Amino acid sequence: MQYIYDCTSVDVMHSFITRSPDGCVTSAILALSSLHDARMRAAEGGIVGYLRTSNSHELYFNKARNELNSVVKSGRPLTEAEATAALHLISWWLFQGGWQGGSDGSSGWLEALNVACDWFETRSGILNSGSEPLKTIYKLNPEGRFAARTTMMDIFSGITLLRPPRFSRLYEHLLNYSPGQSDIFQSANGCCDEVMFCLSAIVNLEHNKYRDVPRTVFDREVAHSDFMLRSRKLRKQLLSIDCSTQPISPFMMESSSSSAYPFTHSNPNVPDTYPTSEIFRQAALLYLSTVTSGYSPSVSHTQDAVAALKLSLEAVPFDMVNKVDRSLIFPICLSGCMTDDLNLRAFFGGRLRSLDNAVGNTITALQLMEAVCAMRDSTGEAVTWRNVMNEMKFELLMV
């Protein structure tokens, strides 16, 4: 459900479990599967069996989190196992609704994401690889590659929290010096790397727009000129990306051969990533329009992007819609927030409603979309979706 584009994820998890049955990855997977079991039983009206308590998923989660925290506090260098366990705990938060934090005061998905990012920064070797980070990523073992590319949630956390992604300099380097040459992240959520890197750059653009305003008129003019120059460059980059031609990386060719992992096979349930990359490209254009022109749905670039997003969503094969839409929370929710057309609202809302709401963040995203539209309808003014989200105390991670 979480990694439908990654044909190696089952193999990687199997490797972790068989090598360390009592390890942190195994504990995190138990927590996640227990939560899924509890949610599905509740949705189906099932009764928890005598082998399961009503809060067993929380017990598993606390065990996994405590194991991970003990490693962090020990100061021992983090491994790809701890990073992967942290990424599964992020999925735990996503599966229970996607918002940040919990009733016990814990910091939620951000706490887990920071662990994965710490490993990426200190132990993966990618940031210390000079001008060739791609080669370093491709040289990682399969477990390391999975952890590295899945840590891309760093970008979506930046969108939610309005802060520069932690590895934005790496993304900027790859965007400017390796355009169209990598598919590091594509197998994680179906979005081609160039679009992901542009999303990171847009977050930086928006963050810089709202940080301390220069004091002098001259400095403000310089800052505005730089803002417009960067925004035009990003729009040009996004318009030039052809999502129908995707690179084949060395690690994808390697993983297509059945070798060390017993479950590696061609998965007929994995969708073509072209429609989803195009959907994310249009979502990036829409996001950029909100940063440069504000949150009014009457802006022409905004209307064009929303209309293009609807067409791109309609291009997803019918038998794959429910699988694919779960990975498109950000494009669908943002589009629904940025239109006053009732038919379009119904379309985007319907895509979220059609998903199984027992597991995941689709209902939370739908609630946010409806709240934004209701506020704009009542006030007649432009509404910033992030402000509404913060008022609702969601801090929704839209992946």
pLDDT tens by residue, 174-183: 888 766 666 7
Instruction: Return the half-sphere exposure (C-beta side, CA atoms, 13 A cut-off) of residue 340.
Output: 15
Q: What angle do CA 136, 139, 144 make, to 5 degrees?
A: 90
Mean pLDDT over each residue of the chain, to the nearest integer: 84
pLDDT bin (cut points 50, 70, 90) of residue 250 is: very low
- Please write the tens of the pLDDT for every residue from 42-68: 877 765 554 555 677 888 899 999 999
pLDDT at 135: 82
pLDDT at 246: 54
Checking if the pLDDT of 38 tops 50, the result is: yes
Checking if the pLDDT of 254 tops 60, the result is: no
Instruction: Return the half-sphere exposure (C-beta side, CA atoms, 13 A cut-off) of residue 135.
Output: 5
pLDDT bin (cut points 50, 70, 90) of residue 255 is: very low
pLDDT at 54: 62
Interval 315-322 mean pLDDT: 86
Q: How many residues belong to the chain?
A: 399
Checking if the pLDDT of 259 tops 70, the result is: no
> Is the whole model's pTM more than 0.75, yes or no?
yes
pLDDT at 274: 61
pLDDT at 302: 96
Residue spans of the domains in the chain: they are 9-391
Question: What span, in angstroms and rounded, lies between the C-alpha atoms of 367 and 356?
Answer: 15
- Please write the tens of the pLDDT for every residue from 377-399: 999 999 999 999 999 988 899 98
- Which alpha helices (H) appear in the chain, and where do they start and end? 9-19, 24-43, 56-74, 80-95, 109-122, 133-139, 142-150, 153-161, 168-177, 186-189, 193-210, 217-240, 250-255, 273-293, 300-314, 321-325, 329-337, 342-353, 362-379, 385-391
Question: What span, in angstroms and rounded, lies between the C-alpha atoms of 23 and 31?
Answer: 13
pLDDT at 355: 87
pLDDT bin (cut points 50, 70, 90) of residue 121 is: very high
pLDDT at 153: 85
